[in-house]
Amino acid sequence: MRVLIVEDDPMLGSALNRGIVQAGYSPTLAASGETGLDMAKGKEFDVVVLDLNLPKMTGAELLKTLRSLPQTQNLPVIVLTAMDATAHKVKTLDAGADDYMTKPFDFDELLARLRSITRRTQPGTPAGVLSCGGIELDLDAKVARKDGVVSVLTAKELKVLTLLLERKDKIVSKTQIETQLYGSDEEIESNTVEVTIYSLRKKLGKDFVQTVRGVGYLVKQ
């Protein structure tokens, strides 16, 4: 997932950038509306995380411009702002934002909303379904399908398989998987990732999840 973060607060921008990297995605940080617009026009992104209180070009102005340009008019936008009045939310959503979160916010919830938006906007894929290499993951039913055979997934298996499929053809590190499995205040069990990968291989085929020794895991299209 390629995420454009438009945030002028350097500490928050850096924290968002770092957290999105740790979650296994590819962020790009823009510190102003003008820079964000240039980046959005010049590079493909899957979603934008947009602050409203930006200098010079405000977030609302940037959103309006994105929706007016052919190359960005369908680019999903999550607004992340301290402006929590209902009137601001309604106005911003009516202006073309796909989602609206207020600060302070829960980072795990932001990641879930990013995943939700990108699932809905993947062309040719049914809502709530990820696929790769003959495997289909139904996120709503929490099952995986292979050659018509349905496998019910545990909560951990679902989280790990979702991350791998969202980053198919890219290596996902053990640390990134642990970030997906555990909250910031939870103790990480040393062998959880290996046990979960082993379980997924039993259900989906021993060659489906590949190990890149010393680096991490990946699934290939």
- The domains located in the chain, with CATH, are 2-121 (3.40.50.2300), 129-218 (1.10.10.10)
**Residue 112: its pLDDT value, please?**
85
Asked whether the beta carbons of 17 and 27 are under 8 A apart, the reply is: yes
Q: How far apart are CA 149 and CA 6, in angstroms?
A: 43
Lowest mean pLDDT among 26-40, 112-126, 129-143: 112-126
Q: Tokens 């999840």: give the residue.
A: 209
Give the whole-number percent of the chain exceeding pLDDT 70.
94
Is the pLDDT score of 92 beyond 90? yes
Q: Per the structure block, which two tokens stand in for 157? A: 């298996």
In this predicted model, what pLDDT tens digit does every residue of 157-166 receive, in sequence order? 998 998 898 8
In this predicted model, what pLDDT tens digit does every residue of 54-67 receive, in sequence order? 988 999 999 999 99
The amino acid occupying position 81 is: T
3-state DSSP assignment of residue 75: coil
Asked whether the beta carbons of 139 and 131 are under 8 A apart, the reply is: no
